[in-house]
Structure 1
């Protein structure tokens, strides 16, 4: 009897065993003679596992390592680098209190500081010329004293203006003075009765003025030599309108 079977080499997908014609007489064509696993079943199982792994990788992002988790957990314990010195008004905010506006002084209040800087430079130049040309100790001491005096005045004015703070929050008005010590004047927005604007001819030409806020009783609060006083008055009135 003639064997009409076609000699086709089949490789097992699991153990890579190549099937022979002699194996066809003993094992069925769907089973591996060596590991005895069904070809189609193994391929389907392998394909299903691969798809499940791909789906899981897409659905779930890669979890961070232990070191990253530890860093995130201890992130709040690391020291923070300050971006700059905070103002007193920012430091004194209470719960649910926000800064509405910070008022600025007019440029006129800086004139004494600029004059002192200019005069100190002039006396410094005179002192150096006295040292080089004259050489008399009395003249050097006199011009040096004036130079030191105006440098001190300019330094004091700089820190005095830097320490002055005026502003309004959604709960109160604040005026803070003092270079080293602190002195504050505050008024609750809900206690405001009247807001007055005092601006003379010169003040109007220079764009400055004084805002006088009167509260319940005899309490008053002044914002002196403030820049754009009319805008400041409107801002305070808009904040006060929320409590009416």
Structure 2
């Protein structure tokens, strides 16, 4: 059972669940493709650069898979729950009535592909969660629950 399901209060129900966007896998895949390309050269330093790129690509791919598996971003009828991590956990549970600020950052690529960062502010504390798929919908759902 997920962290969210285990921590819902009586009468609390999930209204919206955001996902991590697939774009997080672009950088590791590019590294892996370049690594395969350069390691096929089989000549001197280019071969070793290819192996290094393969190792970096595998490292970043593993890191991004763990991010995707360990992240849960949910709006309920009472609070916003933002949880990331598998081995270590970073969880923010924000009561909707205490929500001071919600900021969305989207790059040009983020706007085109539909992802962005959500920055939640409460009591002077700021938490940033990257690569949220459809952050505008996430913000709109929070606003709908507050009203």
Give the TM bin, normalised by the shorter chain: 0.7 to 0.9
Distance 1:97 1:206 in 2: 32
Distance 1:195 1:156 in 2: 27
Unaligned runs of 5+ in 1: 1-85
RMSD: 3.0
SS in structure 2 of the partner of residue 214 of structure 1: strand
TM-score, normalized by length of structure 2?
0.74
Q: Is the 8 A contact 1:197 1:229 kept in 2?
A: yes
In the alignment, structure 1 residue 210 sits paired with structure 2 residue 125: no
Distance 1:205 1:176, change over 3 A: same
Return the match for 1:226 from 126, 132, 140. Answer: 132
SS in structure 1 of the partner of residue 92 of structure 2: strand
Q: Is the 8 A contact 2:28 2:57 kept in 1?
A: no
In the alignment, structure 1 residue 90 sits paired with structure 2 residue 34: no
In the alignment, structure 1 residue 196 sits paired with structure 2 residue 103: yes
Distance 2:115 2:136 in 1: 9
CA-to-partner distance for each residue in 1:120-163, whole Å, 9 max, x for gaps?
A: 54466x2xx84xxx8xxx87x93555534432332222222221
Distance 2:106 2:130 in 1: 10
Distance 1:230 1:149, change over 3 A: closer
Tell me the equivalent position of 1:180. Answer: 87
Distance 1:199 1:116 in 2: 24
Q: Is the 8 A contact 2:20 2:71 kept in 1?
A: no
TM-score, normalized by length of structure 1?
0.49
Distance 1:237 1:113 in 2: 35
In the alignment, structure 1 residue 166 sits paired with structure 2 residue 73: yes
Tell me the equivalent position of 1:236. Answer: 142
Q: Is the 8 A contact 2:29 2:57 kept in 1?
A: no
Return the match for 2:29 from 111, 114, 117. Answer: 114
Distance 1:191 1:93 in 2: 18
SS in structure 2 of the partner of residue 154 of structure 1: helix
| 217-226 or 92-101, larger mean C-alpha shift | 217-226
- 4+ long deviations beyond 4 Å: 143-146
Distance 2:109 2:57 in 1: 27
Structure showing greater Rg = 1
Q: Is the 8 A contact 2:18 2:74 kept in 1?
A: yes
Q: Is the 8 A contact 1:187 1:221 kept in 2?
A: no
Unaligned runs of 5+ in 2: none
Paired residues, what number?
A: 145
